[in-house]
C-alpha cells in the first residue's frame, strides 16, 4: 500500500489501527482512536490488562476523567479490542508503539520492552503499514535501533515496504485524555511524506497544533522538554534549601521573583517521580558518545534525586527539636504515588524515603488514598505516631483534619514536602516545611 492509499483509508476511517502497550499512555490513545471511528486492536504482554480491557474496564487507577466511560463505550461497540497475540496484527494499517522505556542503574536506556515489541512486530508487519513510535526514546534510536530491527525482522525496506515515524506523547497521569486531545504534537517522519500523513492522522483527534518534522528533531524535542523541566525543578529545590537556611519562605520568594518578566521558578518539592522526568534527561545524555562536557543536566538529576534525603534530614531536625530521634519514633508517610490524584508509583520519591527510613525508625507506616496497598483510615494509622511526612499533594491531605490528630499522635510533628499545610492551621503541631526557614 502506498502512502496515498493509506491517507485515503485514514480519511474514510477504514484504516485498521493497533496500539502496542496498554499502559498510562497507550490505553487512553487506543480508546481515543476507537472513539474517532477506527477499529483499534490493543496489544499487551500483561494478560490481566488484556482481559480487563476486553471486559470494558479500565486497569489504570487514580482519577482519570472520562477514561472508564470511553473504554467501556468503545469495547461495547466493538471498536476497541485487546489481544496478547501479535499474529492478530496481520491486517493492521497503522501501528503505534507505546511500551515503557526506562533507564538502568547505569543511566543508559533499558530497551528490553521496546526491542521485544519491535521483534514481535517485525515478524507480522503487513506490507505498507505505518509504524509510529510514541514511547520516549533517546535521540538517534529511530535510526539506530527501530529501523534496523523492523527491516531485519520483516525482510522489507523502509519507505518501500513500510513507513516509520516518531510522535512522542506529552500526557500526564490525571489528565490523560485531556492531554491527548488538547496538547500540540510533534510528528517526525522518516521522510516528509510520512510526516504529512502522520500529521493528518493526529489532526483527527488532537485539537492543537501539529508540527511535522524529521525524527531526530522529534526525539530531541521530547527529551529536551522533560530535561528542561527537571533542571527547572532542581533550581527551585536548590533555592528552597537555601531559603531554609536563611529563615525565608521560598514560596513567597518565588511568587515575587516570578513578577519579573521571563522568570518562571517552578515548584520545589519532596522529589521528582514518574515514568518521564526522572529518566528522560538520562535518555538525552546517553544519546551522544562524548558526554564529558555535560554538567548541568546530571547535576539537576542528582539534586532532584537527593530530595528524599533532604526530607529525611528535615524530619530528623524536627524530631530533635522535640527531644527525639528516628530510632525512638513512629513515622507515617502521607502519599506514595509520585503525583497528586494518581496511583502511579514509578520512581516515586516516597519509595526512596521508605528505603532510607525503614531500618532507622521505630516503625514506619504509609498512607495513600489511590494505592490499594496503602489505603486505610489515615487517622487510625496516625495513632501513636510521632511525625507525619507529607510527600504527595493529594487533595485529601489539603483537607486533613489536624484537630482529629491531636489526641491520637504521640508527638505533634508534621514535615511537609509539598506546601500542603497552612501555618495558621497547624493547631499546636510543630510544622517543618520544605523551603521555609521559620518553624511554627
Ligand atoms: N506515563 C507518562 O506520564 C508518560 C508521558 C509521556 C510519555 N511517556 C512515555 O510513554 C511510554 C509508555 O509509558 P507508560 O507510562 O504508558 O508505560 P506503562 O508501563 O504504563 O505501559 C507500558 C505497557 O507496555 C506493555 N508492554 C511492555 N512490553 C511489551 C511488548 N513487548 N508488547 C506489548 N506490550 C508490551 C506493558 O505490559 C505495559 O502495560 C514510555 O516511553 C514513557 O516514557 C509516559
Ligand 1 atom showing the smallest separation from residue 25 Cα: 16
pLDDT digits (tens, 9 = 90+) for 141-167: 999 999 999 999 999 999 999 999 999
CB burial of residue 403 (10 Å; 0-12, 13-18, 19+): exposed
Question: Using a 6 Å cutoff on CB, does residue 109 contact ligand 1?
Answer: no
Ligand 1 atom showing the smallest separation from residue 280 Cα: 43
Q: Is the pLDDT of residue 124 over 50?
A: yes
Domain ranges of the chain: 3-222, 306-433
- Between the CA of 187 and the centroid of ligand 1 the distance, in Å, is 19
pTM surpassing 0.85?
Answer: yes
315-332 average pLDDT score: 97
pLDDT number for residue 439: 44
> Ligand 1 pocket test: which of 141, 275, 344 has the largest number of ligand atoms within 8 Å of its C-beta?
275
Name the CA dihedral angle for 283, 284, 287, 292, rounded to a multiple of 10 degrees. -110
Q: Is the pLDDT of residue 440 over 60?
A: no
Q: Are 107 and 305 in contact (CB under 8 A)?
A: no
* Angle made by CA atoms 386, 395, 256, in degrees to the nearest 5: 95
Mean pLDDT of the chain: 96
Q: Are 91 and 126 in contact (CB under 8 A)?
A: yes
Question: Using a 6 Å cutoff on CB, does residue 116 contact ligand 1?
Answer: yes
* Angle made by CA atoms 69, 74, 77, in degrees to the nearest 5: 125
| Residue 276 bears catalytic tag | yes
Atom 24 of ligand 1 has which residue's CA nearest to it?
21
Q: Is the pLDDT of residue 259 over 80?
A: yes
Ligand 1 atom showing the smallest separation from residue 21 Cα: 24
pLDDT digits (tens, 9 = 90+) for 232-243: 999 999 999 999
- Between the CA of 256 and the centroid of ligand 1 the distance, in Å, is 39
DSSP states along 307-344: HHHHHHHHHHHHHHHTT--GGG-EEEEE--SSSTT---
pLDDT digits (tens, 9 = 90+) for 44-101: 999 999 999 999 999 998 889 999 999 999 999 999 999 999 999 999 999 999 999 9
Tell me how far apart the alpha carbons of residues 266 and 368 are, in angstroms, rounded to a whole number.
25
pLDDT digits (tens, 9 = 90+) for 339-382: 999 999 999 999 999 999 999 999 999 999 999 999 999 999 99
Architecture of domain 3-222: 3-Layer(aba) Sandwich (3.40)
Question: Using a 6 Å cutoff on CB, does residue 99 contact ligand 1?
Answer: yes
Q: Are 99 and 39 in contact (CB under 8 A)?
A: no
Confidence of residue 427 (pLDDT cuts 50, 70, 90): confident
Percentage of the residues of the chain whose pLDDT score is greater than 70: 99
Which residue do the cell numbers 484504516 mark? 15
Question: Using a 6 Å cutoff on CB, does residue 19 contact ligand 1?
Answer: no
pLDDT number for residue 63: 87
Range in 38-42, 227-231, 300-304, 403-407 with the lowest mean pLDDT = 403-407
Catalytic annotation, pick one of 167, 276, 361, 385: 276
Confidence of residue 438 (pLDDT cuts 50, 70, 90): low
Q: Is the pLDDT of residue 182 over 80?
A: yes
| Residue 127 bears catalytic tag | no
291-306 average pLDDT score: 97
Tell me how far apart the alpha carbons of residues 133 and 45 are, in angstroms, rounded to a whole number.
17
Indicate the class that CATH gives domain 306-433: alpha beta
pLDDT number for residue 218: 98
Amino acid at each position: 500500500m502506498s502512502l496515498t492509499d493509506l491517507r485515503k483509508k485514514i480519511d474514510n476511517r477504514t484504516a485498521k489501527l493497533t496500539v502496542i502497550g496498554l499502559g498510562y499512555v497507550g490505553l487512553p490513545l487506543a480508546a481515543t482512536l476507537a472513539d474517532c471511528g477506527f477499529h483499534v486492536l490493543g496489544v499487551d504482554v500483561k494478560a490481566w490488562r488484556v482481559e480487563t480491557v476486553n471486559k470494558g474496564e479500565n486497569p489504570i487507577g487514580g482519577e482519570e476523567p472520562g477514561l472508564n466511560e470511553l473504554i467501556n463505550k468503545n469495547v461495547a461497540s466493538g471498536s476497541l479490542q485487546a489481544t496478547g497475540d501479535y499474529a492478530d496484527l496481520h491486517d493492521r494499517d497503522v501501528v503505534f508503539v507505546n511500551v515503557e522505556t526506562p533507564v538502568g542503574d547505569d543511566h543508559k536506556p533499558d530497551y528490553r520492552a521496546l526491542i521485544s515489541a519491535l521483534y514481535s512486530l517485525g515478524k507480522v508487519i503487513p506490507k505498507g503499514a505505518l509504524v509510529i513510535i510514541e514511547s520516549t526514546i533517546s535521540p538517534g534510536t529511530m535510526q539506530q535501533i527501530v529501523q534496523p530491527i523492523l527491516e531485519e525482522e520483516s525482510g522489507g525496506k523502509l519507505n518501500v515496504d513500510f513507513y516509520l515515524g516518531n510522535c512522542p506523547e506529552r500526557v500526564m497521569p490525571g489528565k490523560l485524555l485531556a492531554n491527548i486531545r488538547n496538547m500540540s504534537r510533534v510528528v517526525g517522519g522518516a521522510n516528509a511524506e510520512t510526516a504529512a500523513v502522520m500529521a493528518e492522522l493526529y489532526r483527527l483527534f488532537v485539537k492543537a497544533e501539529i508540527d511535522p518534522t524529521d525524527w531526530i528533531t522529534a526525539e530531541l524535542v521530547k527529551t529536551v522538554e522533560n530535561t528542561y523541566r527537571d533542571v527547572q525543578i532542581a533550581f527551585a529545590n536548590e533555592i528552597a534549601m537555601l531559603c531554609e537556611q536563611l529563615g525565608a519562605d521560598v514560596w513567597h520568594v518565588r511568587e515575587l521573583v516570578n513578577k519579573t518578566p521571563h522568570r518562571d521558578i517552578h515548584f520545589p518539592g519532596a522529589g521528582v517521580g514518574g515514568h518521564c522526568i526522572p529518566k528522560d534527561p538520562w535518555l538525552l545524555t546517553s544519546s551522544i558518545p562524548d558526554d564529558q562536557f555535560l554538567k548541568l543536566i546530571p547535576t539537576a538529576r542528582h539534586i532532584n534525586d537527593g530530595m528524599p534525603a533532604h526530607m529525611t534530614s528535615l524530619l530528623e531536625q524536627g524530631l530533635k527539636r522535640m527531644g527525639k530521634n528516628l530510632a525512638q519514633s513512629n513515622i507515617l508517610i502521607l502519599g506514595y504515588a509520585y503525583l497528586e490524584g494518581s496511583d502511579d508509583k514509578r520512581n516515586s520519591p516516597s519509595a526512596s524515603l521508605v528505603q532510607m527510613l525503614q531500618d532507622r525508625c521505630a516503625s514506619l507506616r504509609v498512607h495513600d488514598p489511590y494505592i490499594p496497598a496503602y489505603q486505610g483510615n489515615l487517622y487510625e494509622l496516625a495513632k501513636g505516631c510521632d511525625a507525619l511526612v507529607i510527600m504527595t499533594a493529594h487533595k485529601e491531605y489539603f483537607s486533613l483534619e489536624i484537630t482529629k490528630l491531636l489526641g491520637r499522635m504521640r508527638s505533634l510533628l508534621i514535615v511537609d514536602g509539598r506546601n500542603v499545610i497552612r501555618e495558621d492551621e497547624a493547631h499546636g503541631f510543630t510544622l517543618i516545611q520544605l523551603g521555609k526557614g521559620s518553624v511554627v
